Structure formats: structure tokens, C-alpha cells
Amino acid sequence: MYKKLQLICGLGAVVLLQAACSGGAKDAAGEVEKKSTPIVTVGNPVAHVFSNSITFNATTQYQQKAVLRAGITGYIHHRGWKTGDVVKAGETFCTITSKEQQALKNIDQTGLLEKFRAPIPVRAGSSGIITSVTYQNGDYVSEGDVLANLVEQSSLVLLVNVPVDYLNRVHAGTSCTVIMPDGKQLSTHLQRGLPTADPAVQTQSFIVPMGGSNLPEGANLKVMVPLSNSESGLAVPVKAVQTDEIQEHFWIFKIGKGSQALKVDVQEGKISTDSLQEIKSDKISADDKIIIDGAYGLADSSKVQIKK
């Protein structure tokens, strides 16, 4: 009787131990599955107005430049200007003393020839910003040497490089939008085009005045030119759209039943300046929840966790 009781108790302990181990394994498996489930951010597609436009490269350039030259051969004196200073037309840039004047100073002890010893001024012929200074005080210069270079700030323009393939739709008077380095946009018009084209890249440059800006010469900007009327469409953030290596097929993931990520093929469209991608698909509507972040590398019908 005692042995039978021991056997029954032993069998009961084994059953309880197996049950406990089985429950612990299930809990551990559930915890691992929860941790391995990708966490994603979702949102709704939105209706967005897209402009049918093209963006061209543009470079700033000063149209009016000037140089200050030495009028005589001699030594520079009293040059107080430096690069970046603004000089006005008629202002004295420096003075030059010739060798003959230096000789008169040593010969004329009475001062009778003092008026002939006065340094000769070099005056700016036009107003502008000094972009470079080539000689310093005390330097010897020859007649005609360039003392400084100037640019007139109001003459700053954008040279918009338009491929010749677009010349039937882009011309003088075409409206455009200049995208500034800080992201601001300036609405303006293309002015006349230069009479020559770049033979290497086959582009013609059109002029856009930029005299009121503080941009330096040689800055690269973007100019957006509309090609037709605006169109509305369904849009998602650019990062929500995935593609293959050759960018032939495009797709997004939308949330289905049971928090499944369903792969949906889409046709990609235009991209707006605020990073929205137009998508075309009869399987996507504005009411769907699509994955914005976290979809990279997901397989179709993968289970995901939605980030709150």
C-alpha cells in the first residue's frame, strides 16, 4: 500500500513538472515572437496637387565687372581699401608717386616745385564691391597694371541652363521658381536667352535677375519651370515607397487584418518639393493605413507592431 502511494505521488509530480515546463516554454516563445515583430509607423495617403514641372541647374554670375588700373608708373601710397569693401564712382582708391616726383623731392629744397610732387590719385570709374586687390602700399607698378577688380552687386543674375530639347516649351518670359539655398522660393520669369549654346552639354543659358540678393558669384541653385497645368493625385512620403535595384517596380505596404503588412504594387508619379511621392493604384485609398517607417526588408503578409 505504501509503495502504491509513493508511485502515485511520483507520477503526479512528473505531470505537474511537465505542465509547468510547457507553460514556461509557451510564455518564452510568446515573448521572443513579440520582440522579433517589427515596429512600424503608419499614416494615411493624402490628396496632393502636383505641378508638372522640370528643374534646371543655374549659376550666379555678375554681368558688370570693372578694374582699377594704374595711370602712371610709380609707387603706391595711401591704399586703404581691402577686399569686400564697397567703393563709389569717383572715390580715390590710392595715390601713386612717380620716380620723377621722388627725384624732385630730393632736388627741390626751397619748395617751389611742391605742387609737382603731389601724388597722383587713382579714382574708381564705377561703383562696386572690391573682389580682389593685387598691389599693396609701397609696391612698384607700371602704367596700365590692374590694381583691383570690382563687381556691381545690382548686376547679379542667374544663368539657367536649359537643354535644347526643351526650347520649344521654355523661352523668354516663361514663369519659373528659384529655389534659394535656405529653401525659400522666389517666383520670377526667365529673361532673354544667350545667343550661344554649350556645345558639350547642349544647353542654352537664360537670364534671371538676382540683384536684390546677397548671393555670391558661382553659387549653384535650382530653378523650377512649369511645363503644364497642375494635377492632383494621391501621395505618400517618399520614404514609404520602395523599389528594386533597377527602379523598375515600386511598392508600398499597407496594414491589413491582424496587423499584417500587405505588399501593394504601385505606379510611381511626380515628387513634390515637400518630399511627397505621387502613387497610382486601384488598391490604395485615402482611408488605408500605409507604413511610413519600418517597412524596409519586410516580406509580404509579415506581422508588425504599430508604433503609437
- Decide if 254 contacts 284 (C-beta within 8 A): yes
pLDDT at 116: 63
- What are 45-82's pLDDT values in tens digits? 999 887 778 889 999 999 999 999 998 999 998 878 88
Q: Which residues pair with 151 in a beta bridge?
A: 65, 129
Report the CATH fold assignment for 53-62+155-226. Answer: Elongation Factor Tu (Ef-tu); domain 3 (2.40.30)
pLDDT at 158: 94
- What are 91-120's pLDDT values in tens digits? 999 999 888 777 666 666 665 556 666 788
Which helix (DSSP H) or strand (DSSP E) does residue 198 occupy? strand 193-198
Q: Which CATH class is domain 65-153?
A: mainly beta
Architecture field, domain 39-51+231-306: Beta Barrel (2.40)
Question: Would you say residue 147 has pLDDT above 60?
Answer: yes
Model-level pTM? 0.53
Task: Give residues with Cβ within 8 angstroms of 286, minimum separation 6.
Answer: 44, 45, 46, 47, 234
What are the extents of the domains in the chain? 39-51+231-306, 53-62+155-226, 65-153
- What are 220-275's pLDDT values in tens digits? 999 999 877 777 889 999 999 999 988 889 999 999 999 999 999 999 887 776 78
